[in-house]
Amino acid sequence: MTRTNAPIITIDGPSGSGKGTVSRAVAHTLGWALLDSGALYRLVALAGRKAGVDLGDGQGLAALATGLDIRFGANPAGGEQIWLDGQDVSNAIRTEEAGNDASRVAVLLPVREALLERQRRFVAAPGLVADGRDMGTVVFPQAQLKIFLIAEPGERALRRYKQLKEKGLPASLPRLSEDIAERDRRDASRAVSPLRASADAVVLDSTGMTIDAVVARIMQLAKDRL
Ligand code: DC
């Protein structure tokens, strides 16, 4: 199977909808590669901060994005590990501040264009699970199965809160709720690649569902479609 015709499942949706955990589990179950596209935007913002590039400077950030040395891996416990220019930034990119920075740089067209080809290079046999906001609409419109995962904002804030606490990172629930509302607004209203379900996506509301139940539903859809 060539790089370009390996099957793809896209999982898009707003912050805290459970996409990250669900995508990882689906990729693991199928034995497929995983693209965490949000991590790429977080890495560009972090690299921009480190290099002193203004987070509104699309051209400057795009130039940085093109040359970034990024490595995805797993630590011995199976958790994600991400290196930027040889430095372990796994925790640094997961803070709320890094998420807000990522949402800011993600509105810039030059940054999105600079990351397009890098994202498409993740396609590999036997298949790819791609997690993000515009995976089904822009990056992989040819995907065989597109999921748009949603959940009520209150539940999403609570999930994020638990996730951050588990990682030992600081978190405040009222602050997270505000951040989620603000990020939803920015992600959905931006001119380039706004957050929206592809016309051919299956919209899955995970409110009140366990992660296992969401994964099982997607696996069933995958079995029917692939
Ligand atoms: O999924 P995440 O929280 O790691 O994403 C961080 C930010 O990056 C999010 O606010 C929007 C942006 N993003 C995007 O614009 N397009 C993607 N495909 C993935 C993330």
**Contact status, residue 43 vs residue 92, Cβ threshold 8 Å:** no
Question: Residue 186: pLDDT band by 50, 70, 90 thresholds?
Answer: confident
In this structure, of 28-32, 107-111, 135-139, 157-161, the range with the lowest mean pLDDT score is 157-161
Residues 194-225, buried b or exposed e (16+ Cβ, 10 A)? Answer: ebebbeebbebebeebeeeebbebbeebbeee
Best mutation site among 22, 103, 167 for ligand 1, i.e. most ligand atoms within 8 A of its Cβ? 103
pTM, full prediction: 0.91
Q: Give per-residue pLDDT as tens, 194-220.
A: 889 999 999 999 999 999 999 999 999
Residue-level pLDDT at 3: 54
Closest protein CA for atom 5 of ligand 1? 38
Q: Quick check: CB of 156 below 6 Å from ligand 1?
A: no
Which amino acid residue places its CA nearest to atom 20 of ligand 1? 38
Extract the tokens encoding 3. 């790089």
Residue to substitute in 8, 10, 21, 37 for testing ligand 1 pocket (most ligand atoms within 8 angstroms of CB): 37
Q: Is the CB of 136 under 6 A from ligand 1?
A: no
| DSSP assignment of 170-206 | ---HHHHHHHHHHHHHHHHH-SSS-S---TTPEEEE-
Q: What structural domains and CATH numbers belong to the chain?
A: 8-225 (3.40.50.300)
Tens digits of per-residue pLDDT, 86-104?
999 999 999 889 998 999 9
Residues whose CB is less than 8 angstroms from the CB of residue 97 and which lie 6 or more positions away in sequence, other chains included: none
pLDDT for 142-170, tens place per residue?
999 999 999 998 999 998 899 889 888 88
Q: What is the edge-to-edge ordering of all strands in the sheet holding 8-12?
A: 33-36, 128-132, 8-12, 145-150, 202-205
Cβ of 99 closer than 6 Å to ligand 1, yes or no, is yes
Contacts of 33 (CB under 8 A, 6+ apart): 27, 122, 123, 124, 127, 128, 129
42 pocket-lining for ligand 1 (C-beta < 6 Å): yes
Straight-line distance from the first to the last Cα atom of the chain, in angstroms, rounded to the nearest whole number: 14
Q: Please give the helix or strand (H or E) that residue 64 lies within, else none.
A: helix 58-67
Listed in order, strand segments (DSSP E) in the chain are: 8-12, 33-36, 70-74, 80-84, 87-88, 128-132, 145-150, 202-205
Task: Find the length of the chain.
Answer: 226
Q: Is 58 in the pocket of ligand 1 (CB under 6 A)?
A: no
What per-residue confidence (pLDDT) applies to 2? 42
